[in-house]
């Protein structure tokens, strides 16, 4: 089965951990993930500035490692990211900001990527949200 996964909640929320464990289990069971899409507060999972307390799970780091190791398409909604100060080098320069905090493996793109992922997948699974 092909899954598209959308994450709407920040890395410290329980649904972020559930989303990661779901994605790991899906791949372990032989399924495919066509795209991971981080939207609304989910974009914070892609920020390299998230500092996790020592006694908590570093979900931002785990998400990045998972996307990198599995060579997945990890897309961060550009509008939600800009609104929350999550910028890659190009956007930091465009908006004259001092630093970028979005690095590989993440890619900034539009909401159309979520729509496309839903069309390519058998199931769109969403975690978190309003």
Could you tell me where the DSSP H helices lie in 42-95?
59-70, 78-83, 89-94
* Relative orientation angle of helices 59-70 and 14-28, to the nearest 10 degrees: 20
Given the residues 7, 20, 72, 77, select the one marked as catalytic. Answer: 77
Mark whether 126 is an active-site residue: no
Per DSSP, the residues of 89-108 read: HHHHHHTT-S---B-TT-EE
Rg of the chain over CA atoms, in angstroms?
14
- Contact predicate 108/78, CB 8 Å: yes
C-alpha to C-alpha distance for 11 and 72, rounded to whole angstroms: 18
Active site residue ranges: 77
């Amino acid at each position: 089965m092909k899954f598209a996964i959308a994450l709407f909640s920040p890395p410290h929320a329980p649904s972020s951990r559930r989303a990661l464990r779901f994605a790991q289990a899906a791949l372990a069971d032989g399924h495919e993930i066509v795209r991971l899409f981080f939207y609304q507060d989910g974009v914070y999972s892609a920020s390299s500035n998230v500092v996790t307390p020592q006694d908590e799970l570093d979900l931002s780091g785990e998400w990045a490692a998972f996307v990198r190791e599995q060579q997945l398409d990890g897309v961060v909604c550009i509008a939600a990211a800009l609104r929350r100060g999550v910028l890659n080098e190009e956007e930091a320069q465009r908006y004259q900001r001092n630093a970028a905090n979005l690095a590989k493996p993440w890619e900034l793109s539009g909401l159309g990527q979520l729509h496309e992922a839903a069309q390519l997948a058998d199931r769109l699974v969403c975690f978190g949200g309003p």
